[in-house]
């Protein structure tokens, strides 16, 4: 199986501005940010989307959520608020078939998102 774009970034084969990494996941700045702070948090395991995660991924998903909170704190977003988003599938606008969470902040975020 060919590596996904985000596996290549996680493995250091494609450069990215990495803000956090550990044995289970990597976080890096989005190449096309839509907010002053826009970081992508991806598991090293190439799960295509949230819909493809299974019961065996429960601990990993929990780790990702706690890590999103840690990164938001690291970016100075905890006090003002931030958003964590996983676009899942075509209708939601997912363009990279490797599970990822957008961490967005640094401005007021509208709701509904559109």
95 binds ligand 5GP (CB under 6 A): yes
Binding test (CB under 6 A) with ligand 5GP, winner from 83, 96, 106, 109: 96
Q: At 72, is the secondary structure helix, strand, or coil?
A: helix
**DSSP count for the chain of H helices, then E strands:** 2, 5
Query: Closer to ligand 5GP at the Cβ: 40 or 71?
Result: 40
- Rounded-to-integer distance, Cα 83 and Cα 72, Å: 9
101 binds ligand 5GP (CB under 6 A): no
Cis bond upstream, residue 56 (ω within 30): no
48 binds ligand 5GP (CB under 6 A): no
Contacts to ligand 5GP by CB under 6 A: 5, 16, 28, 30-32, 40, 87, 93-96
């Amino acid at each position: 199986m060919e590596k996904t774009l985000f596996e290549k970034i996680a493995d250091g084969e494609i450069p990215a501005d990495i803000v956090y990494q550990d044995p289970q996941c990597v976080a890096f700045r989005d190449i096309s940010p839509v907010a002053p702070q826009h970081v992508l948090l991806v598991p090293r395991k190439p799960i295509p989307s949230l819909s493809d995660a299974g019961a065996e991924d429960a601990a990993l998903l929990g780790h990702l959520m706690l890590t999103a909170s840690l990164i938001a704190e690291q970016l100075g977003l905890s006090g003002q608020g931030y958003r964590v988003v996983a676009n899942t599938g075509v209708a939601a606008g997912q363009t990279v078939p490797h599970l990822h969470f957008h961490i967005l902040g640094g401005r007021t975020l509208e709701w509904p998102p559109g």
